[in-house]
């Protein structure tokens, strides 16, 4: 499953494209949340890893997504969410 998410975001380097990919994934059931603990966007499948303090197979791709979107804090997440409507579904 991680490979699918990595493929979706592969080669996507600007915030508008990343936001569109998030919308596409949300339409098919993926969930995205802000993690105050990690100070970045996470995908729902990461939650068990985070809760158990384990290394997440989604860490690299979701760190990239957060970096491209400019998410570094709850405030920047809320600004990005408002700009790109990330919580639309």
Q: In the prediction, which pLDDT does 88 show?
A: 73
The pTM for the full model equals: 0.89
- Enumerate residue ranges in the chain where pLDDT < 50: 1
Say if CB 33 and CB 80 are below 8 A apart.
no
- Find where tokens 């890893």 sit: 49
Partners of 35 in beta bridges:
40
Q: In the prediction, which pLDDT does 16 show?
A: 97
Closest by Cα among 32, 34, 33 to 5: 32
Q: In the prediction, which pLDDT does 89 show?
A: 56
Q: In the prediction, which pLDDT does 2 show?
A: 55
| E-only strand ranges, 1-89 | 32-35, 40-43
Q: In the prediction, which pLDDT does 1 show?
A: 47
The span from the first CA to the last CA of the chain, in angstroms, equals 21
């Amino acid at each position: 499953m991680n490979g699918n998410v990595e493929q979706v975001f592969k080669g996507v380097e600007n915030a508008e494209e990343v936001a569109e990919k998030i919308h596409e994934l949300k339409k098919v059931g993926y969930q995205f949340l802000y993690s105050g603990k990690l100070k970045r966007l996470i995908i729902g499948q990461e939650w068990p890893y985070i809760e158990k303090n384990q290394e997440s197979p989604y860490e690299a791709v979701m760190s990239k997504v957060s970096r491209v979107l400019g998410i570094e804090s709850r405030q920047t997440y809320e600004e990005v969410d408002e700009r790109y409507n990330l919580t639309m579904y």
